[in-house]
Amino acid sequence: MAAIVFTGGAIRIDGRSPDVDRLVVVDGVIAEPRHPVPADAEHVDLEGGLLLPAFRDGHAHPLLAGRERTGPALRDAADVDEIVDRVRAWAAASDAAWLVGGSYDATIVEGGLFDARWLDAATPDRPVVLHAWDYHTAWVNTAALRAAGVDADTPDPALGRIVRRADGSPSGTLVERPAIDLVLDHAPRPAEEDDVEALAAATAHLAAQGIAWVQEAWTEPHDVPAWIAAARAGRLAVDVDLALRADPTRWPAQVEEMRRLAARISAEPGLTCRTVKFFVDGILENHTAHLLECYHDARTRGLPNWRPAELAAAVAQCDAAGFDVHLHAIGDAAVRAAIDAAEGIRDSLRRGRRLTIAHAQVVDPADLPRLRDLDVGFCFQPQWAMADAVMTELTLPRLGPHRERQYRMRAARDAGARLSFGSDWPVTSPDVLAGLRTAVTRQDPDGLPAGGWQPEERLTLSDAIDAATSGVALQAGDHDSRGTLRPGMIADLVWLDRDIRSGPADRIADARIRGTWRRGIRTFRAVAATAAH
């Protein structure tokens, strides 16, 4: 039997049990404390560090993140000229017919609205499509608009928006997928072998963050072959559940197709397909999140993708088909619609069906008490719970002074919601330790503001660790076998170089990952030992 013995550090079993100083893994499973150790067991000295259940990412997009590797790094570009210079160099080095990449920081331009003519300076003759960091907005050049036939006479698609100049011509900014796909549908899809490489790199990066399982929160049917090929080739460093996107323009005809895809996917090693993903609304920064009252800076309540009654019916159909449900809901009206849909499958939730509301950025106070009687999960992205440039320059001006409370982690937990954490990578880094720090401090990396932003919503570190481990296992329905280090559980483990529970909260992210194990097999090993604690 393959066996590993961990000693020499603190070992956290779960949020309720005392630490232990020795853990034995046999054939990928946590053994009983007194289990005899085989003579050929591997011994791991934790060197004073901390062993935890491996982290789990409850909402991410590894395929999108992996694809970003093929284009220039844009996130840190300080202005439009810097982006244009990088795209120009990219174009000079590539012979691709279309240049599709991401993702740029929308805060560098007022209102997040970018002009096609700026990108024309980089490459006027080849189509360019750049995703904003939110992936709900894209910036394209004139050649891309021309190739897609998008002009002043093109109507806005249902559930999308073409930003226009004063004369009605497309400006180059496209809002939400139906508008983005007017252009992107004309670009060639990535080759399967390229996507396999993208997935291999992305999942290796997740493993390096101490992650052993991820919810891929947006899968289209044309993405599935690459996932299957990567799984069969042993190229996935984490286990993955693929959430198939529910398309409101094709519903309910999709349900049977989803059943067939799920059966095909779940036959592959390390893959499952237990979930259907709903985009209930968009995002606040481009006025597409659905609000109960108008935006502070615009006479609109947003752009919902589903009417509440239609959403509730679709969620019930997913439940009947055997799927868990994962709902992107940003605005308070969207969150209310998601909770209404949960009410419709209350009995199934009590029997173990999982319904997760992702992001839950703005929740009307009247809806929090409703969570007490519903077994509903809230999957928060903790790194968003700070007063960064996105919050101060784009989000808060949209919401106004009377609707500032956001990412109410503590209030949701106290009201009865199950908490889990996700990164939404590549929107945000999959650095779990940075997420833990932010959840506990509600401060940016520079420690601002003093005392934290909306500090009443801070979590304890124990609660935050649970949200990143056992909370995601509960979201996934794996809580009987994963998410803690109790005997009989699958050995998904992460080794930190220090005990983050014993230092100041603002130094949590200074810890380093020394090793990650998935099902007892090491998927990440630090190149060299970190500095002394």
Say which residue, 45 or 70, is predicted with more confidence: 45
CB neighbours of 16 closer than 8 A, spacing ≥ 6? none
pLDDT above 70 (res 168): yes
Question: pLDDT tens across 350-388, in order?
Answer: 999 999 999 999 999 999 999 999 999 999 999 999 999
The answer to the question of residue 228 being in a domain is no
Report cis status (omega within 30 of 0) of the bond before 397.
no
**Tokens standing for 386?**
């700070």
Side-chain-side CA neighbours of residue 358 (13 Å): 28
Using DSSP, state whether 328 is helix, strand or coil. strand
CA distance 409 to 92: 46
Compute the average pLDDT of residues 422-440: 97
Quote the pLDDT of residue 528.
67
Per-residue pLDDT, 416: 97
Spatial distance between the Cα atoms of 273 and 380, rounded to a whole number of angstroms:
21
The torsion of the CA quartet 411, 416, 420, 423, rounded to 10 degrees, works out to -40
CB 138 within 8 A of CB 119: no
Question: Which pLDDT score, from 0 to 100, does residue 181 have?
Answer: 96
Half-sphere exposure of 143 (CA within 13 A, CB side): 17
What is the strand order of the sheet 170-175 is part of?
Answer: 99-104, 128-132, 137-140, 170-175, 161-164
Q: What is the pLDDT of residue 527?
A: 84
**Residue position matching structure tokens 């529970």:** 501
Percent of the chain with pLDDT over 90: 95
Residue-wise pLDDT tens digits, 254-269: 999 999 999 999 999 9
Mean pLDDT of 454-471: 98
Query: How big is the chain, counted in residues?
Result: 533
Q: How confident is the model at residue 1, as a pLDDT?
A: 59
β-strands 521-525, 513-518: how paired?
Answer: antiparallel
Q: Give the span between the Cα atoms of 360 and 330, in whole angstroms.
A: 5
- For the four alpha carbons of 47, 50, 54 and 57, in that order, the dihedral sign comes to negative
Residue 517 pairs in a beta bridge with 493, 522
Domain boundary among 184, 213, 231: 184
Query: Any residues with CB less than 8 A from the CB of 373 and at least 6 apart, and which?
Result: 346, 416
- Is residue 126 in some structural domain? yes
Mean confidence (pLDDT) of the chain? 96
pLDDT digits (tens, 9 = 90+) for 241-298: 999 999 999 999 999 999 999 999 999 999 999 999 999 999 999 999 999 999 999 9
CB atoms within 10 A of CB 216: 26
Are 116 and 174 contained in the same domain?
yes
pLDDT of 175 above 60: yes
Query: In the chain, what percentage of residues exceed pLDDT 70?
Result: 99
- Examine residue 494 and state whether it is found in any structural domain, yes or no: yes
Strand partners, 496: 50, 513
Burial class for 501, CB neighbours closer than 10 Å (0-12, 13-18, 19+): middle
Exposure on the CB side of residue 26, measured as CA atoms within 13 A: 14
| CB-CB contact of 53 with 469 (8 Å) | yes
Say yes or no: 158 and 102 in one domain: yes
Strand order in the sheet with 55-60: 55-60, 211-219, 239-245, 271-279, 324-329, 355-359, 377-380, 418-421
Q: If DSSP states are collapsed to H, E and C, what string results for 203-246?
A: HHHHHHCCEEEEEEEEECHHHHHHHHHHHHCCCCCCEEEEEEEC
Question: Which of 156, 184, 212 is the C-terminal boundary of a domain?
Answer: 184
Q: Which domain holds residue 153?
A: 98-184
The DSSP 8-state label assigned to residue 13 in this structure reads -
pLDDT classification of 35: cutoffs 50, 70, 90:
confident
Lowest mean pLDDT among 30-39, 382-391, 509-518: 30-39
What is the 8-class DSSP label of residue 368? G
Confirm if 172 and 142 have CB atoms less than 8 A apart. yes
| Tokens standing for residue 306 | 């589903």
Report how many domains make up the chain.
2
Question: Which of 184, 212, 228 corresponds to the end of one domain?
Answer: 184
Q: Which residue has the higher pLDDT, 66 or 71?
A: 66
Tokens 């989000």, residue? Answer: 395
> Considering the domain boundaries, does residue 107 fall inside one?
yes
Average pLDDT over residues 311-338: 98
CB 406 within 8 Å of CB 335: no
Across 89-96, average pLDDT: 94
Residue 349 amino acid letter: L
Q: Is the pLDDT of residue 66 over 60?
A: yes
- The residue-averaged pLDDT of 502-527 equals 96
Whether 136 maps to a domain, the answer reads: yes
Question: Residue 531's pLDDT is what?
Answer: 44
Distance (Å, whole) CA 195 – CA 62: 10
The predicted structure's pLDDT at residue 110: 87
Q: Is residue 192 part of a domain?
A: no
Query: 141 lies in a domain?
Result: yes
DSSP three-state, residue 367: helix
* Averaged pLDDT for residues 111-123: 94
| Tens of pLDDT, residues 395-404 | 999 999 989 9
What pLDDT shows up at residue 130?
Answer: 97
pTM for this model (two decimals) = 0.95
Neighbouring CB atoms inside 10 A of 54's CB total 32
Three-state secondary structure of 251-302: CCCHHHHHHHHHHHHCCCCCEEEEEEEEECCCCHHHCCCCCCCCCCCCCCCC
Please state, in angstroms and rounded to a whole number, the distance separating the CA atoms of residues 425 and 134: 10
CATH of the domain at 139: 3.10.310.70
Q: What's the Rg (C-alpha) of the chain?
A: 23
pLDDT at 533: 40
Q: Rounded to an integer, what distance in angstroms lies between the CA atom of residue 293 and that of residue 296?
A: 9
Task: Please give the pLDDT value at position 530.
Answer: 45
Intra-chain end-to-end CA distance of the chain, in Å: 34
Question: Is 131 part of a structural domain of the chain?
Answer: yes
CATH number assigned to the domain comprising residue 492: 2.30.40.10
Pair (49, 105) in one structural domain: no
